[in-house]
């Protein structure tokens, strides 16, 4: 969300006047300007990785003009991470009834979904299939997402049985196991099952 976005109020109600009614109301201050003057409120919000984080929020409401759609009511939120590990961000939501802390929590919980799709695109070829019929298009996506789940479940079972071998380079130390580690370990086990030593 652009901190200098053009946000406006709802158009004024017209009473018995001829001519085309206004599409927009008066121009409101840009979120960046509001944040510079406003007092920040502290909230505890759900954060990345299932944690809770204390952040400072500033919020405002208005309408955003979209060509072809007219005015869209929005609530924008400015987020400042008190711990300083994440940069300041602006978010907006088209449901102005949500509280600012709810908007931030909804955005951060979406992160796991974004990561899943990124991993499926990178390692399983989610965006490379060349499907021409409607049935194949409807089958490929769920099939690849199902394969992602199968790999994760197999890897989780392998780690419980101490069969998973995670290899890392001496110059690259990972803090957490990634999907590429999981799929490599599952491939290795599958190859061992297929190509057993005599």
The answer to whether residue 45 sits within a structural domain is: yes
Residue 154 has a pLDDT of 92
The answer to whether residue 1 sits within a structural domain is: no
Q: Given 85, 109, 133, which residue is the final one in a domain?
A: 109
Name the token pair of 103.
């908007």
Give yes or no for a contact between 91 and 104, defined as CB atoms under 8 angstroms apart. Answer: yes
Write the pLDDT tens digit of every residue in 127-136: 877 788 888 8
Residue 97 has a pLDDT of 92
Q: Are residues 15 and 92 in the same domain?
A: yes
Q: Are residues 77 and 164 in the same domain?
A: no
Write the pLDDT tens digit of every residue in 6-53: 888 888 887 777 888 777 888 999 889 998 999 999 988 888 777 888
Count of the separate structural domains present in the chain = 2
Residue 198 has a pLDDT of 57
The answer to whether residue 60 sits within a structural domain is: yes
Give yes or no for a contact between 83 and 53, defined as CB atoms under 8 angstroms apart. Answer: yes
Q: Are residues 11 and 94 in the same domain?
A: yes
Write the pLDDT tens digit of every residue in 53-109: 889 999 999 998 877 778 889 999 999 988 878 888 999 999 999 999 999 998 888
Better pLDDT: 21 or 179: 179
Q: Are residues 17 and 58 in the same domain?
A: yes
Q: Are residues 91 and 57 in the same domain?
A: yes
The answer to whether residue 98 sits within a structural domain is: yes
Q: What is the pTM of this model?
A: 0.67
Q: Are residues 18 and 93 in the same domain?
A: yes
Cα 62 from Cα 28, distance rounded (Å): 8
Q: Are residues 74 and 102 in the same domain?
A: yes
Cα 101 from Cα 173, distance rounded (Å): 35
Q: Is residue 196 pLDDT above 90, yes or no?
A: no
- Give SS3 for 12: coil
Helical axes 179-194 vs 111-124, angle rounded to 10°: 40
Question: Residue 166's domain spans which residues?
Answer: 113-194
Q: Are residues 103 and 16 in the same domain?
A: yes
The answer to whether residue 131 sits within a structural domain is: yes
What average pLDDT does range 160-180 have in this prediction?
Answer: 75
DSSP letters for 103-124? HHHHHHHTHHHHHHHHHHHHHH
Q: Cα-atom radius of gyration of the chain, to the nearest Å?
A: 25
Residue 2 has a pLDDT of 81
What average pLDDT does range 146-150 have in this prediction?
Answer: 93
Q: Given 49, 80, 109, which residue is the final one in a domain?
A: 109
Q: Are residues 80 and 94 in the same domain?
A: yes
Q: Given 61, 94, 109, which residue is the final one in a domain?
A: 109
The answer to whether residue 171 sits within a structural domain is: yes
The answer to whether residue 121 sits within a structural domain is: yes
Q: Are strands 70-81 and 89-93 parallel, antiparallel or unpaired?
A: antiparallel
Name the token pair of 62.
């208005």
Name the token pair of 169.
């380079």
Give yes or no for a contact between 109 and 49, defined as CB atoms under 8 angstroms apart. Answer: no
Residue 42 has a pLDDT of 92
């Amino acid at each position: 969300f652009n901190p200098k976005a053009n946000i406006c109020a709802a158009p004024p109600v017209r009473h018995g006047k001829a001519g085309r009614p206004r599409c927009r109301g008066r121009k409101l201050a840009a979120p960046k300007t509001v944040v510079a003057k406003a007092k920040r409120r502290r909230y505890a919000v759900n954060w990345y990785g299932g944690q809770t984080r204390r952040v400072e929020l500033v919020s405002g409401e208005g309408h955003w003009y979209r060509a072809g759609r007219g005015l869209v009511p929005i609530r924008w939120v400015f987020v400042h991470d008190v711990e300083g590990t994440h940069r300041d961000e602006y978010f907006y939501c088209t449901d102005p009834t949500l509280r600012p802390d709810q908007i931030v929590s909804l955005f951060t919980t979406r992160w796991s979904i974004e990561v899943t799709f990124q991993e499926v695109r990178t390692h399983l070829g989610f965006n490379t299939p060349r499907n021409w019929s409607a049935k194949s298009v409807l089958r490929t996506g769920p099939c690849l997402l199902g394969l992602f789940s199968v790999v994760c479940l197999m890897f989780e079972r392998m780690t419980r049985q101490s069969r998973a071998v995670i290899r890392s380079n001496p110059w690259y130390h990972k803090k957490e196991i990634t999907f590429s580690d999981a799929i490599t370990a599952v491939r290795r086990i599958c190859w061992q099952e297929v190509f057993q030593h005599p």
